[in-house]
Chains A and B, each alone.
Chain A
Amino acid sequence: DQQVKQNSPSLSVQEGRISILNCDYTNSMFDYFLWYKKYPAEGPTFLISISSIKDKNEDGRFTVFLNKSAKHLSLHIVPSQPGDSAVYFCAAFDKAAGNKLTFGGGTRVLVKP
């Protein structure tokens, strides 16, 4: 039972354009949603999060949007830079179910110069 899904395994975008990564979830009890960025041979690094009571959070070039009724969130990166090329994981946190993150399968982003 995959509670968090990233249906696009890969995304290719031109430098300077917008990257949009999507994530769907099934568990309405999730309290927080997070995006992690992962380079090869490294651990995931935290990028941005959003509380379930918000619908938008912005941090520099990164914006996360949450649509609770659709159980959908997205990460916008604008403008995209070559250093953004990495695998991006969506994750969700349900405090009542224990302090663990449930991850999506990841989306590999390639930003072409």
Chain B
Amino acid sequence: QLQLQESGSGLVKPSQTLSLTCAVSGGSISSDAYSWNWIRQPPGKGLEWIGYIYHSGNTYYNPSLKSRVTISIDRSKNQFSLNLSSVTAADTAVYYCARGEGPWGQGTLVTVSS
């Protein structure tokens, strides 16, 4: 059964870069049949798609975040990563990774605060 697990810093200072990794187990990330996604949810609010990457390395980002987002893939480690630069308090959210429509990881809360 495919499982995804987010990891990374839970506290990031304003203007710094948020970095998260999604480890994939129970299946291979090396399949272009699926997109590998990052989604976030500010506390008490709805869901916002950040972007996705394919096995080929092709990426698609939400235009609202495009200038600050980088998603990369590490096939050797069966994982993919998110970098979000120049963060502000508005980037405080639970960050989820997901394969296509599912499954999703359990999510990790990232707080932006000095």
> Are A and B bound to each other?
no
List the interface of chain B (C-beta within 8 A of A).
Answer: none
List the interface of chain A (C-beta within 8 A of B).
Answer: none
